[in-house]
């Protein structure tokens, strides 16, 4: 069965500095990997996903994530943090190809706090 | 394009009372998901529909929870009777064609349920 871990409950970064939110995963086959962001009192919003191809995936709002198969990681990154990036970030994984019974598993979330 | 619509946004009930949540997915999206999100946790799948068929309800507490998706569009999730531990945010999401790999999920704002 697949699993995903976000080892940090909270990450604090000064505005303008680069940020990294960590995610590691476990699947028996090849993974689909996702990042979602959740702002207060709102549903999750899709940021980016990795299916295949280039290990560096670019997404919304200037975010990118790097797929590292040997380390089973999919860390979310941004070169220069904005205060408006403060939110709850979720990593998610599922196996490919999609089957009838598999599902996306979400991590517990990492709260990103950008300090002005 | 309209997003996923959920109602109500907030619901407060006393334990043992029934409650229902409604979801209208994005037009044309075949796959619909109901998730439970506890405070400080990631979403956990309750049930997934492919059109009108419930294809994954393994995590749905069937003694008190029920769901339906008539005509493969709108969906309703019901709890009867509600318990204190049901207090959480109930998220609905939809995706275009999951089994074709087009399974980026689009989330509604959620319904925050408080059981007193």
Identity of the residue in B41, B48, B56 whose CB atom sits nearest the CB atom of A108: B41
Residue A114 contacts residue A55 (beta carbons within 8 Å): no
Q: How far is CA A23 from CA A32, A109, B83, in A?
A: 13, 10, 34
- CA-CA-CA-CA dihedral for B55, B69, B94, B108, to nearest 10: -130
Its sign, for the CA torsion B43, B108, B102, A23, is negative
Cβ contact, residue pair B56, A92, below 8 Å: no
Instruction: Name the average pLDDT for chain B.
Output: 91
Tell me the average confidence (pLDDT) per consecutive run of 10 residues in chain A, 116 residues long: 91 97 91 92 89 90 95 97 96 73 85 96
Least Cα separation, residue A116 to chain B (angstroms) = 24
The answer, yes or no, to whether residue B99 has pLDDT greater than 80, is: no
> Does A34 sit within 8 Å of B42, measured CB to CB?
no
If you write DSSP's letter for every residue of B26-39 in order, what string do you get?
Answer: PTT--EEEEEEE-T
Ramachandran area for residue B44 (φ above 0: left; ψ -120 to 50: alpha; else beta): beta
Tell me whether residue B6 is exposed, middle or buried, using C-beta atoms within 10 angstroms of its C-beta: 0 to 12, 13 to 18, 19 or more: buried
Chain A residues inside the 8 Å CB shell of B99: 98, 100
Burial class from Cβ neighbours inside 10 Å (0-12, 13-18, 19+) for residue B85 reads exposed
pLDDT digits (tens, 9 = 90+) for B14-68: 999 999 999 999 998 988 999 999 988 899 999 999 888 898 888 899 899 999 9
Tokens describing residue B55:
């294809």
- Tens of pLDDT, residues A77-98: 999 999 999 999 999 998 765 5
Q: In the structure encoding, which two tokens stand for residue B11, read together?
A: 């619901």
């Amino acid at each position: 069965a697949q699993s995903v871990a976000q080892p940090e409950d909270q990450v604090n970064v000064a505005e303008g500095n680069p940020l990294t939110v960590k995610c590691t995963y476990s699947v028996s086959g090849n993974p689909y990997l996702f990042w979602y962001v959740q702002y207060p009192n709102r549903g999750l919003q899709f940021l980016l996903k990795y299916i295949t191809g280039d290990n560096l995936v670019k997404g919304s709002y200037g975010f990118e994530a790097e797929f590292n198969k040997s380390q089973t990681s999919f860390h979310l990154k941004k070169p220069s943090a904005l205060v408006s990036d403060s939110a709850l970030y979720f990593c998610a994984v599922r196996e490919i190809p999609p089957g009838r019974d598999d599902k996306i598993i979400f991590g517990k979330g990492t709260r990103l706090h950008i300090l002005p | 394009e309209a997003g996923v619509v959920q109602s109500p946004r907030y619901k407060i009930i006393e334990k043992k009372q029934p409650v229902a949540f409604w979801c209208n997915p994005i037009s044309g999206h075949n796959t619909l998901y109901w998730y439970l999100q506890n405070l400080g946790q990631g979403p956990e799948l309750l049930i997934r529909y492919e059109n009108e068929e419930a294809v994954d309800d393994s995590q749905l507490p069937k003694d008190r929870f029920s769901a339906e998706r008539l005509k493969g569009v709108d969906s309703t999730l019901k709890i009867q009777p509600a318990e204190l531990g049901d207090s959480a945010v109930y998220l609905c999401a939809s995706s275009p064609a999951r089994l074709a790999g087009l399974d980026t999920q689009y989330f509604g704002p959620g319904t925050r349920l408080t059981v007193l």
